[in-house]
Chains A and B, each alone.
Chain A
């Protein structure tokens, strides 16, 4: 990479940081408890809208993992989830009625909160429908991973988004608050992901899974990206570029080995496809607040009307992280 491109990426990063700084005014603090945090704490950052039914399990899942504090941006929820979050002891929550889209799908808001509160901490940026898995997550807390990453001088940790879906119609079994969503959406595609490299940011571009197979066979290049770098030892100079798919400085995107080896990596179980999804898809088409005019949701709505089954004969049923490791969807790297 030449000095010129390097300089341009630097400008780009500064622009995003300034943008995040400007967008801070859109955030209205509702409950601030960040003062009770300690310098070694691990944080979760998340935006949410009307995800009240998912939040109880989400919070429990990450608390059990060893996350110490949650930072939420609530985007104009109408289901009481804001009040629910404000009542939690380990949650700081801001609310906003501003446009999700114009905050670059929430990235600007979270960039600001991370800039302000995340500096020097391990930060995990996940949506309420994403469950993070890392090697040995059943026997070792998240701090074991972050300590090991610190000792290995690794600053960012990648996790592929793995779309989970139920067998049968998506809306067949209703999801109850507090329930593990994997009990319903327990199936996934094991081996149809394709990867290319983004030369500008150095990140990988992964597509595939049930969404490409069912919703985007006509124009596969439009299928959503599944590469994510959710866990980062944050520094206030960093910025997420587009969702958690890309980061700047670009060195943070080098979460993969290029010389034949495997780096340690995890998976984000994506439990979007529950019974709540159909209603969500309709609403998001209405609001047009998602990526490229909610095209993704329009495709979903069309696909769902015809054939609401993502399951196929070769779908794999989720067991544990070791299964995903064997299938090659994540790796222990040299962590043993």
Chain B
């Protein structure tokens, strides 16, 4: 008993000849169908080149346009020829000219001989397959397709739209249930002859001639009528990308293909010299009885599709520039923004670095320069601290920084003196953790040595800016993790919110914070705000401060704990 190979060929005839010879050398008869679009002269030369092999036959030529009946007709004719001429064939294997056997042919013969009643054909009902491209799944079977998808795409789409609009449905022959699957099958003589010799075949043929991509459904559907045992998988390794075209294998896939233990792979690049050399040379050795295991190849190609459709989050480059809202991650990883903290606490930045182990920058969007951690002027990715370069594209600056420092948490200070344009981009970024102590900018004014008239002017300006920033942060469309305290609220119990923020950054152990950052001395701050009010400027963002100096209990000497003794 042997395996008969049908090859559907349309290009790279030289490679097809090589593969055909390989099959016949191992005793498998081959029937080749050459696309009618191949010029006569080339076809004749191809036939003549194989004329020395008696077990290679050529079937009647059909013109095979993708998605049309021609491919099915070609397989039918070739299969009939195979069954008629080669009596000892038990399984018929449908392959293409760009298929390449990966394992010794004897192993395939052995494998199939051990499963004499099994048909290997991927076959699933339309409701259950995710891989239809172009939105036509069950409609493949219920609409008509008079126009070529390749040549007259517009008419094709229009005719589908019109039929949908009319609610047109053609009836499916009553005894079949449409199934779909890979067009590369391996069927037993029994099943195949039952399909080809069925008295109702003219009815089925007439029906499938008007089905879209019948080569993925004709045998897949009819095999369900006759097969005694269907293994719904293809023995041919063939991966498809997101547009429904097959992935191609190259020389550098050699080891991957070797380890896959698949019998046949498709589709091989015709110039992949090393692959053809490696797999078509007759290897001797022990018979390998392992099952095909394409898991690793599956993963590589699944990753490729994922990269093409979803991409790497937070990456902006010359072949990935998502439209607003389609970034699939505005930035690469999580980062924290602090507004008002370094104004309120003297040593906030070093303290934060100690508490979290993150990289803590100063005001990245400061008016003079980007204050990178440790006073660097250039940082990861050769990102410069130049304010003009940064403000030329503030969003690009942020996404670059976060992309360049993937793997290390970034924290930076922000405030109403900084570049304003970036505020909204951070607010809509789910990776941002923004904590604001509103009104804390006043501490710096309070401590400054400027004339009060200037202070008043600046306070008014900053308050206006920060109020607008807070409006943005409170908009319903924000995606960032945002917390806002007024300054009065915050200094009442500073440890609690700090603990929450640090926990959320979540880089260090779960211990409670042992040390607090040192708060600026706020004695007289209430009076300072009152002075501003007296000058006619109304500071409100910092909350209600009493005019008296604050009672500084939380930072002052803690009381001794009570000990209860019995």
Contact = CB atoms under 8 A, between A and B. Distances in A.
Interface of A: 136, 139-141, 143-144, 147-148, 151-152, 158-160, 189-197, 204, 206-207, 210, 212-213, 217-221, 227, 255-265, 312-316, 328-336
Contact of B386 (A144, A217, A332): A217
A165 to B, nearest CB: 11
A220 B388 contact: yes
B320 A140 contact: no
Contacts of A219: 388
A220 B319 contact: no
A140 B217 CA distance: 35
Given A256-B321, A328-B317, A136 B252 contact: yes
A223 to B, nearest CB: 9
A144 B269 contact: yes
B389 interface: yes
A257 B384 contact: no
A161 B173 CA distance: 59
A334 B252 contact: no
Contacts of A315: 382
B384 A256 contact: no
B419 to A, nearest CB: 14
Nearest to A263: B319
B382 A210 contact: yes
A316 B379 CA distance: 12
Interface of B: 241-243, 245, 247-248, 250-252, 269, 271, 300-301, 303-305, 307-312, 315-323, 326-328, 378-384, 386, 388-389, 392-393, 396-397, 400, 403-404
A278 to B, nearest CB: 22
Given A258-B322, A332-B304, A217 B382 contact: no
Contacts of B310: 260-261
A262 B307 contact: yes
Given A220-B386, A258-B322, 20 more contacts: A159-B318, A189-B382, A191-B381, A191-B383, A191-B400, A192-B381, A194-B393, A197-B321, A204-B318, A210-B382, A217-B384, A256-B321, A258-B326, A260-B327, A261-B308, A261-B320, A264-B319, A313-B378, A331-B319, A333-B304
B318 A139 contact: no
A319 to B, nearest CB: 16
A204 to B, nearest CB: 6
Contacts of B382: 189-192, 210, 213, 312, 314-316
Contacts of B322: 257-260
Contact of A314 (B241, B252, B380): B380
Contacts, number: 174
Contacts of B317: 160, 193, 195, 256, 262, 265, 328-331
Nearest to B247: A336
A262 B248 contact: no
A336 B378 contact: no
Contact of A335 (B304, B309, B321): B304
Contacts of A312: 378, 382
B326 A259 contact: yes
Given A141-B271, A227-B318, A260-B327, A336 B383 contact: no
A139 B311 contact: no
A50 to B, nearest CB: 30
Contacts of A207: 392
A255 to B, nearest CB: 6
Interface residues of B, dominant DSSP: mixed
Given A160-B318, A265-B319, A152 B304 contact: no
24 contacts: A140-B251, A151-B245, A158-B318, A160-B317, A189-B382, A194-B393, A195-B317, A213-B378, A220-B389, A255-B318, A256-B320, A257-B322, A260-B322, A260-B327, A260-B328, A261-B308, A265-B317, A265-B319, A312-B378, A314-B383, A316-B382, A331-B319, A334-B305, A336-B247
A152 B311 CA distance: 18
B392 to A, nearest CB: 4
B469 to A, nearest CB: 23
A151 B328 CA distance: 28
A256 B315 CA distance: 12
Q: Tell which of A148, A256, A328 has the most Cβ of chain B within 10 Å.
A: A328
Given A220-B392, A261-B310, A256 B271 contact: no
B75 to A, nearest CB: 22
A-B complex: 7 closest residue pairs judged by Cβ atoms: A191-B381, A334-B308, A194-B396, A265-B319, A336-B304, A194-B393, A189-B382
Given A192-B400, A194-B396, A334-B242, A314 B319 contact: no
Contacts of B304: 332-336
Given A192-B382, A194-B393, A262 B319 contact: yes
Contacts of A259: 322-323, 326
A212 B388 CA distance: 11
Given A144-B269, A313-B378, A315-B382, A331 B250 contact: no
A314 B383 CA distance: 8
B326 A212 contact: no
B380 to A, nearest CB: 6
A258 B316 CA distance: 10
Contact of B307 (A190, A227, A332): A332
B384 A139 contact: no
A141 B252 CA distance: 11
A154 to B, nearest CB: 11
A147 B389 contact: no
A18 B251 CA distance: 44
Contact of B319 (A144, A148, A196, A257): A257
Contacts of B315: 262, 328
A159 B318 CA distance: 7
B301 to A, nearest CB: 5
Contact of B320 (A136, A152, A218, A331): A331
A194 B311 contact: no
A306 to B, nearest CB: 16
B312 A328 contact: yes
B389 A212 contact: yes
Contacts of A335: 304
Contacts of B319: 158, 255-257, 262-265, 330-331, 333
A330 B248 CA distance: 20
Contacts of B248: 147-148, 151
A265 B379 CA distance: 26
Q: Tell which of B242, B252, B300, B396 has the most Cβ of chain A within 10 Å.
A: B396
B308 A139 contact: no
A334 B320 contact: no
Q: Tell which of B300, B310, B381 has the most Cβ of chain A within 10 Å.
A: B381
B129 to A, nearest CB: 20
Nearest to A151: B245
B369 to A, nearest CB: 11
A6 B356 CA distance: 55
A216 to B, nearest CB: 8
B311 A257 contact: yes
A311 to B, nearest CB: 9
B373 to A, nearest CB: 13
A333 B393 contact: no
A332 B320 CA distance: 11
